Amino acid sequence: MSGPAAPVASPPAGQPAGLAFDAAMESEIAAILARYPRPGAGLLPVLWLCQRRWGWISPAAMSAVAARLGLAPAFVEGVVSFYTMFQRRPPGRFLLQVCTTLSCQLCGTGELVAHLKRRLGVDFGGTSADGAFTLVEVQCLGACGEGPVIQVNDDYYGDLTVERLDAILDRLAAS
């Protein structure tokens, strides 16, 4: 269903409380905001830009976005916490987003989830001890016809079995 997943960007070790956007980020933010009638309307793409840059959205990044767009920090935090696409903690190199909605459940997601939790030694929200994989639960990924489906970083993998999943994880872990 897709090619090899690329690892997520490594976040800087401990972002400072007073995070500031560099010139490249400022340029991209300006280009985003030019598409909207007011700065606050560009919140989602600016947050996505932050996540692409750092791999997650830290409290410092939320504060910087709020200040840059003229929004209340609590509002920005509320948006970040609403969408599962935004990570509020540094993920492992590979973010495993497992669809647990009904269509995938009927196709065997439960068995995959049990296997993933055993293999990685984590529950949903956890990161494997080697830092390679973060396991999260998400709702429908929009590929119900190929369930069970897991998104690994930007790539989808469908029609999964425990054996196929293990082969994928083995390959990713060795990359």
Give the residue, chosen from 101, 126, 159, 162, that forms a contact with ligand FES under the rule CB under 6 A: 101
Residues 68-87 that bind ligand FES (CB under 6 A): none
Cβ atoms of residues 142 and 103 within 8 Å: no
Is 140 one of the binding residues for ligand FES (CB under 6 A)? Answer: yes
C-beta of 61 vs 143, nearer to ligand FES: 143
Taking CB under 6 A as the criterion, the residue among 103, 121, 136, 162 binding ligand FES is: 103
- 79 or 140: CB nearest ligand FES: 140
Q: Residue 66 in contact with residue 23, Cβ under 8 Å?
A: no
C-alpha neighbours within 13 Å on the C-beta side of residue 161: 2
Would you count residue 112 as binding ligand FES (CB under 6 A)? no
Considering only 96, 99, 113, 169, the residue that binds ligand FES (CB under 6 A) is: 99
Q: CB of 99 within 8 A of CB of 148? A: yes
Q: Is the dihedral of CA 28, 29, 31, 36 positive or negative?
A: positive
Of the ranges 26-34, 73-81, 86-94, 101-109, which one interacts with ligand FES (CB under 6 A)?
Answer: 101-109
**Smallest distance from the beta carbon of 97 to ligand FES, in angstroms?**
10
> 159 with 1: CB under 8 angstroms?
yes
108 binds ligand FES (CB under 6 A): no
Per DSSP, helices labelled H in the chain are 23-33, 43-54, 59-69, 73-82, 102-106, 109-120, 162-173
